[in-house]
Structure 1
């Protein structure tokens, strides 16, 4: 009995997104070793951010939403078309970014985010799933920001637009990931008959969303201002209070729970660094964003992909899967250290990138093995 690669819908997109997470960083780091020579103009920073958001993150979000929200994920022909649309965007952005006109690039690159945003927003409105309604403006931003990226006159406009989308993806992780952490923590605490059950206070939940959005706006429109310092510091405090309510200090004995709590803890650290990034010489804005992107977004993506796709009793697969989280944790540490230790910046940056790639390679290995494990199990059960 074979495994259908199109069902569930997340299967292809988790593979594609994880594979591209390796490819995009590999291509980004190659010029630093002068292995690959190409014109690294001022566009390269925005290219890097764009491909991590639209190539890596968007693919994973699509797989998740097609499985949990949209019914279109049941149509394998449509899923295949979406994957081709995603691939065409990656092809032109990697091979023709410096040679094709902006409109041609925009046409092929925008097909995927436009279809996904339209489809999922429609399904969210029809399905009236209240817990996901806050995602509608975030999904709308994907095609909207892509317009600014491709037609923005300056690099600053492109980076600023992508930065705002980046912050909104952190908000998405805050909403979806926060609910997941609370649910997992509550279930585990009850299973061990703990008296320290997690709490979720509405004022804190709403406060987290509000201060995260405000910080995003200020970071884009008033960078380096005292308002960014205040908003980022308050955001860090609210996220910390949310974690305190979850009783994070009581889940240290569970590796799987510790990982998701650590992923969220990087939000606290990231916003704290962001608050001081324009006032302290030894940290910068890039440090804060990489802590948020690697520590929180990438780790939570790996958590969600693992929980949805890797269900096996095979100890080797479980160990390989756990190694993935250890690698991404140290990738975050090294990337933060690269900004702190300027004299070792290049070496630490390359090491962080190597650990990032290894993390997603180990995920792909454990994911592939788990699918094979499931297919063997089903075959044996039918015989």
Structure 2
């Protein structure tokens, strides 16, 4: 067994928000979700001076949802989880602040571009600045993870670095597409990042969701008797889900074939619906931190079905994309942040803030309004989008009002973390 040298004195940081990465990245990610969706509503309705000739506004929105919001949550989760997996202390204090500032400065560059702020240079200059800081953000995050994994020789965790490398590649393709005015390359970069995040959610969800269900329900009841809850997982399902998703991902992005797309998308949906049946326990409906994850996974299954049917019914491809994004990125990350923020700050996961049920209901409304309602009433398409935007913003406003205090205050038990 690898010996781990413990620090000679307890760690400390200038502020609790810099104790562990999830604190600052979850806080900033939630605030950014409000800002960027508000700005997207302005861009979408033509109320900004964004340079649409340099970058299609749809790709501006897609990039920042994936490489801005989603990667902030991934960074907060990974840089916290790697510490748990390896026992190696991850950056905190000013070192963590340095990694975070790279993410923040890149986002400010994209916001400035979206607003059309003029500094006497071409608007694309903002994206060049953002590219530099995005590269530093990805590089610094990968370096600290690699160093921790290498130190304890947990080489099986190198898969994380492979995913970060592919995400860096996708982000680089976005920037290169913008610089070379190649919209196809920009599109590939955006979708590559999106599907990598969804693949990560499917992989991590397979481990995390059943674990959370078992831990969340295996507690003493009113009579003081603890019921042991065990949910089913299957290696065959894991392999089938991976193969179907990989085929779907390649088909949708590089090899458009409606037969292969339908078969692979339906395959992902069916495998994961069967998986959800093995995870189901009636007790989840009493626990919003559990049913939210279950509903998020179900929403992804519905979205894959929409992908499968789209070539035959002719509705817009973006319906499936947004369904997968809202369920697989939006709902999943909000549910994960709501639980992790409690557990890792020494608070009870069985007593979440009372607002969480409303938060999750609002995210369900986002899915219904942006994905399902346009299918049955396309004549009010713009209204449904605006309702979805409002519900998204309201969800994260509630998250911030409930969780920023938790994320910025010390642990109640006085421990560092």
Q: Which whole-Å CA distance do the structure 2 matches of 1:334 and 1:250 have between them? A: 28
Q: Which stretch of the first structure deviates more once superposed, 204-213 or 268-277?
A: 204-213
The structural deviation recorded for 1:128 is 4.8
SS across alignment from 1:36: coil
1:149-164 aligned within 5 A: 149-152=174-177, 153=180, 154-164=182-192
- Contact residue 160 and residue 220 of structure 1 kept, 8 A: yes
The answer for the alignment partner of 1:49 in structure 2 is 62
The structural deviation recorded for 1:125 is 4.7
The structural deviation recorded for 1:248 is 5.1
Query: Are 1:285 and 2:342 an aligned pair?
Result: no
Structure 1: gaps spanning 5 or more residues: none
Match of residue 106, structure 2, among 66, 79, 89: 89
Residues 237-292 of structure 1: CA deviation (Å, up to 9, x unaligned): 111121122135663344332111111111211111111222212x3321111111
Query: Are 1:325 and 2:330 an aligned pair?
Result: no
**TM-aligned CA distance change 1:182 to 1:338, over 3 Å:** same
Q: Which whole-Å CA distance do the structure 2 matches of 1:369 and 1:103 have between them? A: 35
Match of residue 331, structure 2, among 299, 309, 313: 299
The structural deviation recorded for 1:29 is 0.8
1:1-383 aligned within 5 A: 4-41=16-53, 43-70=56-83, 71=88, 73-96=90-113, 98-100=123-125, 103-129=128-154, 132-152=157-177, 153=180, 154-188=182-216, 190-191=218-219, 197-247=230-280, 251-281=284-314, 283-310=315-342, 312=347, 318-340=353-375, 341-371=377-407
**TM-aligned CA distance change 1:124 to 1:264, over 3 Å:** farther
Structure 2: gaps spanning 5 or more residues: 1-13, 115-122
Residues 318-349 of structure 1: CA deviation (Å, up to 9, x unaligned): 11222211111111111103531221111110
Q: Which whole-Å CA distance do the structure 2 matches of 1:378 and 1:233 have between them? A: 48
**TM-aligned CA distance change 1:75 to 1:150, over 3 Å:** same
The structure that is helix-richer by fraction is: 1
The structural deviation recorded for 1:107 is 2.1
**TM-aligned CA distance change 1:27 to 1:251, over 3 Å:** same
SS across alignment from 1:238: helix
- Contact residue 142 and residue 164 of structure 2 kept, 8 A: yes
Q: Which whole-Å CA distance do the structure 1 matches of 2:310 and 2:151 have between them? A: 43
Residues 275-313 of structure 1: CA deviation (Å, up to 9, x unaligned): 1222212x3321111111111222121122111213657
**TM-aligned CA distance change 1:183 to 1:378, over 3 Å:** closer
Q: Which stretch of the first structure deviates more once superposed, 90-99 or 193-202?
A: 193-202
Q: How does the TM-score come out when normalised to structure 2?
A: 0.82
**TM-aligned CA distance change 1:85 to 1:200, over 3 Å:** same
CA RMSD, aligned part only? 2.9
**TM-aligned CA distance change 1:88 to 1:372, over 3 Å:** closer
- Contact residue 317 and residue 369 of structure 1 kept, 8 A: no
Q: Which whole-Å CA distance do the structure 1 matches of 2:73 and 2:247 have between them? A: 26
- Contact residue 174 and residue 189 of structure 2 kept, 8 A: yes
* Equivalenced residues, count: 377
**TM-aligned CA distance change 1:16 to 1:188, over 3 Å:** closer
Q: Which whole-Å CA distance do the structure 2 matches of 1:99 and 1:228 have between them? A: 36
- Contact residue 241 and residue 271 of structure 2 kept, 8 A: yes
Residues 77-133 of structure 1: CA deviation (Å, up to 9, x unaligned): 210101111111112222247331865542233221222233324434544557744
The structural deviation recorded for 1:224 is 4.6
- Contact residue 337 and residue 348 of structure 1 kept, 8 A: no
